[in-house]
Structure formats: C-alpha cells, structure tokens
Amino acid sequence: MFLRLVYESLRRQTRRKLLVTGAVMLGAAVSTVMVGIAVGIGDKISRELRSYGANLVITPEEDSLDVEIGSVDLKPATAGAYLEESSLAKIKGIFWGNNIRAFAPELPVTVLAGAQETTLVGTYFQKPLKYGNRQFTTGARATFPWWRISGAWPEDDSDNLLVGEKLAARLGIAPGASLKIAGKAYVVSGIISSGGVEDGQIIAPLHVAQTIAGRTGAVRRVFVSAITKPEDAFARRNPDSLSPRDRDRWYCSPYPQSIAYQLAEALPHSRAEQIRQVAANEGKVLSRIKGLMLLITLAALITSGLAVSAAMATAMFERRAEVGLMKALGGGQFSLSMIFITESVLLALIGGLAGFACGALLARTLGRAIFGSTLAVGPVLLPLVLTISIAVAVTGSAMAIRRAVKYDPVLALRGEG
C-alpha cells in the first residue's frame, strides 16, 4: 500500500515533480562543479605557478662559493666541483619522477666576446634524454618559460648561441651574425630577453660551454622545476630524526624538501635545495587560492541547498488538499510524512544523479576552457553529491510536510488555505 501510494504520488502531477527534480539537479550540478573545482584547483594553479621557474636547485656537494654580481660570474672555471652530465637522466628516476616538470643544467664559463668579458652559460634547450626505457625531452625552454627569443632557439647538438639583449645591443649583433669566442666562430641564432641576468649573458648548448671550459661531461648546477605540495610543519622535519613510518610518509609526500632529498640521493656527490623565493611563496599563494575556492564552494553549496529547499517547500505547499484527503481517510501523521519523505528522497536521487552527470561534464568543459586541461571529477564525489542532494531535499520539504500534515483536513478539503 505504502509503495503504491509513493508510486502513484510520483506518477501524477509530473509538472511539479519535474520542477523539483530540476531544482535538485541544478543544485547537484553546481555542487559537483564547485567541489570539482575546489578539489582540482590546487593542482592546476600549482602547474600554473611552475611558470615562476625552477623551485629546486642541485649543486655539487663540495662546491666553492659562487662569485656572481649581476650577470657576471667571477668564479674561475677551474674552481669548485662539478656534477656529472651523464647522471642527469636519473632525475626522472626518483620516487616523484613524474612530478618533475623540467630541469636544465648549467655550466657558466667566463669568455671574451669581442672586447667584452662576459659569462657564457651552457645548458640544454630541448634535449631528448632517456631514463630506463622512458624517453623525455627537457631543458631551458620548459624550465624558464619567461625567456623570449627573437630569432631561433639553438639546437642542442649545434654550435649556435643565444646572446642576451643588453649584451647584443652593446656588441651590435643581430640574429644570424657570427661571434668569435675563444678562437672559434659561432653563429648567433637568436637574441634572448628574459628580464633577468641572462640579458647580459651568452647562452649556449652545454657541449659548447664544456669545450670552452675544457671540462667534458661537467655541469655546475641543475635547476629543477617540480610540482610540489605546499610545505607544512611536518615537511620541515629532518627525515633522519623521524620514526621509520613517519619517514616513509615524509618520503612519499611531494614536499619540496622530500623531492630535494630524493634528488640529492639520485645524483652522486650532490646537494639539492629549495629555491625559497619560488618554493616558499608557491605554498603561500597556493593555500590562499585553495582556501578562497573552498570557501566559495561552501557558499555555493549553501546557496544551492537553500534554493532547492525553497523549491521543495513551494511544491509541498501546493499539496495541502491532497494531504487533507489522506488524513480524512485515516492516514496517520507518521505514515503520511513517510510517503512524502520517500518521494523527496527518490526525486533527490534522480535529480542528484542527473546533476552529477551534468556537473562532471561542465567541470570538464570549464577546466579545458580555463586551464587547458580537464578538471577530473572522480566517481568518489558521487556519493557525496547524492548525500547532499538527499539531505537538502529532505530538510527542504520537512518543514512544509510538517505543516501540511498538521493542517486541519476539514479546512484543507474546503479549499481554505
């Protein structure tokens, strides 16, 4: 009898049911999108923040001091220690290898360009490397996305150079010119403008710098751009002082500290450090934006909850006459309430499911439009969205149901509302 009543109640008055289902669906869709955004935004903004450049740097363990003022490196090429170029591919082999977006090795040498003493930095531009059976390309183009080149990027195996715009202006060179360095003529393939020290330097493929310095296979430092999790108090602990279990947890979280630790492990005789300007601030900006989206999501959830409740209440209010009739026929308050609550739950389920599907679709589209990559709405969100939909629908109709059930059937039947 109960089921039949619920079934009948659902079948009739489709316009009203559609309205309620539509409201729940809309609310569920908005909740899905907003929760999807709130969950996914950390990762997306983190990727975006990688355009600040490298957040980690690897240097030789026993290095002497850097002596750099502005774009001029005064440290003699013979001084200090080096990293081995041959082991660089191992950077991709660390536990968080997939979080390494890019890296670029550097080898600075002091050279005479024309009559100017300047620094030539050897690096990778877009170098294909292989770790195990994995192929990847990396280099300065991905690590320093703010570099602008007029002309062409040099090939990594060529003898072409980039000249910083300030240096080029002083030397009067344009792309295509030839520049004599250490007794050999090189072709300037492009002029680099970075807004940083590179504007006064020469950037060359790594092997060119190694030949000039007379150090085959040597690298002075490696800049690494990694996707990390904002550091917290736990991240700042010293891993050697942690219990084995905590140490595993520390090691397996993508904190800048733990990635630096793993990098130093991977490369022989090296130390890896966070570049605090990038790494420390990244965490701050990220947590602000995440917090903002979380609070807005909360506000959106409350809004759609209240909106759905209002629609439910209106729909319920219209059914006083029906309730009056049921009561006159001997329906108890409890069983009457159950009928309407069951109906609300069913409508909420249908609306919630449809809303989740629409929301997931919308989140994908939004993600692609804003971030150029889809915002994945995982199926884990489905139970959450359904629970919210049901809770909202039931609380929304509860008030109206209570009033309807308490209503004097005589008044209701006479149509005096």
Partner 1 sequence: MRSGGSRSAMFLRLLARAAVWRKGQALSALLSVTVAAAAVSAMFDLMVDVEAKLRREFRSYGANILVEAGSRKSFSPQELARIYSALADRGLAVPFAYTVARTEKDQAVVVAATDFALVRKLNPWWAVSSWPEHSGQALVGVRAARLLPPSGSPFRLRFAQTDISLRSAGTVQTGAGEDSRIYVSLDDFSSWTGLKPSVVEIAAYGARGEIASILNDLGRAVPSADVRPVRQVTEAEAGVLGKTRSTLLSSAALIAATAALSVVATLMGWVFDRRRDFAIMKALGASERLITLFVLGQAALLGAAGAIGGFAIGVGIAAWIGRANFHAPVVPRLTILPAIVAGSLAVTLVSTLLPLRLLRRIQPAMILRGE
Give residues 331-390 in contact with partner 1 (rule: CB under 8 A).
362, 366, 369-371
- Which residues ranging from 152 to 171 are in contact with partner 1 (CB under 8 A)? 166
Least distance in angstroms from the C-beta of 39 to partner 1: 13
Among 6, 9, 17, 34, interactor with partner 1 by CB under 8 A: 34
- Which residues ranging from 168 to 227 are in contact with partner 1 (CB under 8 A)? 194-196
Least distance in angstroms from the C-beta of 236 to partner 1: 10
Query: 3-state class of 392 per DSSP?
Result: helix
Cβ atoms of 123 and 203 closer than 8 Å: yes
Strand blocks (E) in 194-295: 202-205, 218-219, 221-226, 270-274
Least distance in angstroms from the C-beta of 133 to partner 1: 33
Place of tokens 């002083």: 170
Least distance in angstroms from the C-beta of 364 to partner 1: 13
Window of 14-22, 98-106, 135-143, 382-390 that interacts with partner 1 by CB under 8 A: 14-22
Among 292, 328, 384, 391, interactor with partner 1 by CB under 8 A: 292
- Which residues ranging from 42 to 71 are in contact with partner 1 (CB under 8 A)? 44-45, 48-49, 51-53, 56-57, 63-70
Least distance in angstroms from the C-beta of 261 to partner 1: 14
Least distance in angstroms from the C-beta of 194 to partner 1: 6
The percent of the chain in helix, strand and coil, each rounded to the nearest 5, is: 55, 20, 25
- Which residues ranging from 79 to 138 are in contact with partner 1 (CB under 8 A)? none
Q: Give phi and psi for 36, each to the nearest 5.
A: -60, -45
Among 5, 6, 17, 23, interactor with partner 1 by CB under 8 A: 23
Least distance in angstroms from the C-beta of 350 to partner 1: 16
280 near partner 1 (CB under 8 A): yes
Handedness of CA 300, 303, 309, 314 (dihedral sign): negative
Number of helices and strands in the chain (H, E): 12, 16
Burial 192-201 (b: 16+ CB within 10 A, else e): bbbebbbbbb
284 near partner 1 (CB under 8 A): yes
Residue window 297-316: x/- pattern of binding to partner 1, with contact defined by CB under 8 A: --xx--xx-xxxxxx-xxx-
Beta-bridged to residue 225, according to DSSP, are 102
Burial of residue 267 (number of CB atoms within 10 Å: 0-12, 13-18, 19+):
buried
- Please choose, from the candidates 96, 192, 97, the residue with its C-alpha nearest in 3D space to the C-alpha of residue 149: 192
